[in-house]
Structure 1
């Protein structure tokens, strides 16, 4: 029975794991020095070696014939683990075993000593799929682990794992595998299999794999089958839906030369050949990125990225303006988002081609040319005399002990600043109508934990924000700076991450509404004036109490609740 390449060539030693040398060396050293932990967390994109590393670790920790931290792969224990037949090494898919009962069963069985091996190893794949109750059940075991039991948790989405779990594990972040490493591994496998191949085809496969070794081998498997045990460039392009570097270079050259008609013809040729529209956009973004990178650091762009004609790539990188490339990346990204759900990708690609052909980076950054000044011009001569006169008057004033009052700097006009979207009070007022001090305290109590769940980029945005009002249905978050507020409301991924984080920490997912901090007092005042009994008139009463209330608000902020006598 035929077995897929990624299964046949699955790493059986740490040294066979591609592109993760730092992680594998650390694990080998820990095993050799007997400094292993009771729990590990392996994170990273798909196909980067997380589960393979977990199985190799299970073999190495139980192998009695270690060589430099590597399992022998020949003893009875190693062979049984490789075949998946050792009862003491348990692999669990958390996607289908994510309930409390399954984890409690693991916890109960973990108390028993291993029957055949030295250590009982639990490998839980896609651990982020566990429910909240299951995580809580697992937490108890990680807090007080039984002797001779090791947990290895693997996930592609570490931000979904509670911090209480992460803090009790040793975390290893597996990085994406470079195109060059994927290329070298495929060359090794094909040489071992004695399969003829075209190097250009392997370059296409390495780029299409997007950092996953398993994806690269799966694509390679398809190409071998498609090409009757040979690997050709045409077959690789057909299977991946990619476009040749030559065709990409021609297309980019045409749009940057503003040749719309030839660019449209090239694009139509690409579609007629059955190429995938989304893959074409990905290839364009990757090609543009490589050109930008080559302009700044040529040594960072290898031959895999440069493609078939290195000289053409180099010549194009030297002549194209970087500003045009920046605009191209932005336009490509916008079109890519719009194409996600369309059934007419050809229309979007035609619009994209016209847009790219109309880009003019020089117009955006072209400096205003300095006017040529003729010293003999009567106007220039008159201005020079006035300057000399003013300088003389200033000198006289200073000698007489006078002072020159500097004019107050003009206030910058708001029209020159960034355009900030108007706050939608219709979303804020319902929250204020049901807001309570207890709801706000609950949100503030988990705010630090919520920030730790976010990515580094998201955390940087939220560093200047804090909750100012809350109800059971929503939370109002105020931002210190208007431009950060603008970025936040345009980032739907951030808003979703905040909602998901609050759902995990509080058991409910309130709606997140953002406001600039400078506008928040006025919004609150307008709400009180229009929605509270008595309106603005009630705020004007009892002036004797007003300073006390204001001082309390300065000390305690929005936690102050003013009630009539």
Structure 2
């Protein structure tokens, strides 16, 4: 019976786990030095090696023939765990065993000593699916773990796990596997299987896998079957629904050159070849992101992302304005959201093409790139200005000779350009929060703030990286942004505001109203509030006069000064 590639080539040693060297080395060191914990939490995207690492850990900690922290895979214990026949290594799917009774059963059986191995290992996959009652039952066991019992919890959604559980485990975050690591692993497997392959095909598969090694091997399996035991570029493109880098480059260059008709023809050609519309959007976002990264840090973009024509990619990255790329990514993201429920993706792609072809660089940026006005002496405007300057110089010389002073009014100083206008803060939304704000409410929000950031998308997290809560009540939270222009972006992004509200609701059990303010305006807003919302009688009572030394101290140190009676 044929077995899938990802099952045949499943890692059996820590060194075979792709792209997670820091985690595997830490686990090996813990086993060799006998400093293992009673509970571990493995988090990360699908197909990055969480369950494989858990099984290898179970083999290594029970193996009596370790070599540099690696299991021997030859002894009776290792082979039994590999075959899934070890009674003391129990793997549980929390998606189908998420009730209180199942976890209580685990808790009761965990009290008994292991029968075959040195340690009893419980591997709970997709642990975030457990019910609240089940988590509470598991918490009791993690608080008072039996001897020789180790729990390994694996999940793709750590934000759904209670913080009380997370705090009692050692957490390891598995990262997405790079396209290069996926490519190298596929080359190794195909070489061992003696299967002919096209390097460009493996690049397409590595990109389509989106950081999952299991996904990459599953796609590779399909391509091998489709191509009769060979791996070709055409088959890889057909199976993944991806678009060749050449067609992507053609399309992006056409829309950024504002030639709509050729761009529409390229887009229709892509669809006629049977490419998936959503996959096309994903490929465009990925390509645009790679161009943006290449402009800032070329070493971060490897040759797999750039495609077969590296020079064309590099030349395009040097020519295109970064602001246009920002607008493209935002437009592509919006269309991607809209296409989720449509039955006519081709219409959306046509509208998208026209919209992308009309994107322009900002006026200020274009003005900076354009040459300054002509300075030809024969220009009538230049001649008039020269005559006027000569006249003014003559008048000034005459006035100096007569000892007079100019009576002309001084020109008003030009106000410095303060950049783009920022919307004024709506204090009517801030004041009610300040009126009921407490330190405890603020601490509660700050405790879950890091988890809230993990819930957000990468772009949303980047925007909120410079923001933090500065005041909170039971009904609302005031968030201050370090930069005014990012504050402007945040309040205009309703999707971000909804994500923040939903995230707080999930983490705190309530959805307080979120009000944003620029950090530079926050002290004045707070001061104005205190000035206009003093308690009754506070104004009537005359404050005692302060000693001169106190006034001087307050000038130097502000509200940090505290006056105590003798």
Gaps of 5+ in 1: 398-404, 529-538, 551-565
Cα distance in 1 for partners of 2:536, 2:143 equals 58
2:390 to 369, 374, 381: 381
Would the alpha carbon gap of residues 273 and 522 (structure 1) be closer, same or farther in structure 2, given more than 3 Å must change?
farther
Q: Which moved more, 1:28-37 or 1:205-214?
A: 28-37
Which residue does the alignment assign to 1:225? 225
Which residue does the alignment assign to 1:492? 495
Q: Is the 8 A contact 1:124 1:153 kept in 2?
A: yes
Which residue does the alignment assign to 1:330? 330
The structural deviation recorded for 1:545 is 6.5
The structural deviation recorded for 1:383 is 5.3
Cα distance in 2 for partners of 1:76, 1:172 equals 29
Q: Is the 8 A contact 1:255 1:357 kept in 2?
A: yes
Cα distance in 2 for partners of 1:293, 1:115 equals 54
The structural deviation recorded for 1:504 is 4.5
Q: Which moved more, 1:250-259 or 1:4-13?
A: 250-259
Would the alpha carbon gap of residues 270 and 386 (structure 1) be closer, same or farther in structure 2, given more than 3 Å must change?
farther
Runs of 4+ in 1 over 6 A off after TM superposition: 373-376, 385-392, 405-413, 421-425, 439-442, 517-526
Matches within 5 A, 1:315-354: 315-354=315-354
Would the alpha carbon gap of residues 548 and 207 (structure 1) be closer, same or farther in structure 2, given more than 3 Å must change?
farther
2:421 to 417, 422, 426: 417
Cα distance in 1 for partners of 2:308, 2:324 equals 24
The structural deviation recorded for 1:231 is 1.3
Cα distance in 2 for partners of 1:391, 1:355 equals 62
TM-score norm. by structure 2 comes to 0.80
Which residue does the alignment assign to 1:514? 515
Q: Is the 8 A contact 2:467 2:480 kept in 1?
A: no
The structural deviation recorded for 1:299 is 3.4
TM-score norm. by structure 1 comes to 0.80
The structural deviation recorded for 1:521 is 11
Number of matched pairs: 515
Which residue does the alignment assign to 2:121? 121
Cα distance in 2 for partners of 1:119, 1:190 equals 37
What secondary structure sits across from 1:454 in the alignment? Answer: helix
Q: Is the 8 A contact 1:423 1:515 kept in 2?
A: no
What secondary structure sits across from 2:254 in the alignment? Answer: helix
What secondary structure sits across from 1:175 in the alignment? Answer: coil
Q: Is the 8 A contact 1:182 1:206 kept in 2?
A: yes
Cα distance in 1 for partners of 2:392, 2:480 equals 46
Which residue does the alignment assign to 2:554? none
Which residue does the alignment assign to 1:200? 200
Cα distance in 1 for partners of 2:525, 2:131 equals 40
What secondary structure sits across from 1:58 in the alignment? Answer: helix
Would the alpha carbon gap of residues 204 and 519 (structure 1) be closer, same or farther in structure 2, given more than 3 Å must change?
same
Matches within 5 A, 1:107-146: 107-146=107-146
Q: Is the 8 A contact 2:182 2:213 kept in 1?
A: yes
Which residue does the alignment assign to 1:554? none
Cα distance in 1 for partners of 2:254, 2:416 equals 47
Deviation digits for residues 88-111 of structure 1 (CA, Å, limit 9, x no counterpart): 111111222222222222222111
Q: Is the 8 A contact 1:451 1:462 kept in 2?
A: no
Cα distance in 1 for partners of 2:372, 2:198 equals 55
Which residue does the alignment assign to 1:401? none
The structural deviation recorded for 1:18 is 0.6
Cα distance in 1 for partners of 2:137, 2:453 equals 26
What secondary structure sits across from 2:92 in the alignment? Answer: strand
Matches within 5 A, 1:93-492: 93-361=93-361, 363=363, 365-367=365-367, 369-371=371-373, 377-382=386-391, 417-419=421-423, 443-444=441-442, 446-455=444-453, 457=461, 460=465, 463-468=468-473, 470=474, 475-480=475-480, 486-489=488-491, 490=493, 492=495
Deviation digits for residues 237-294 of structure 1 (CA, Å, limit 9, x no counterpart): 1111100111112212222222211111110011111111111111112122222333
Matches within 5 A, 1:526-565: 547=540
Cα RMSD after superposing both structures: 4.0
Cα distance in 2 for partners of 1:209, 1:226 equals 18
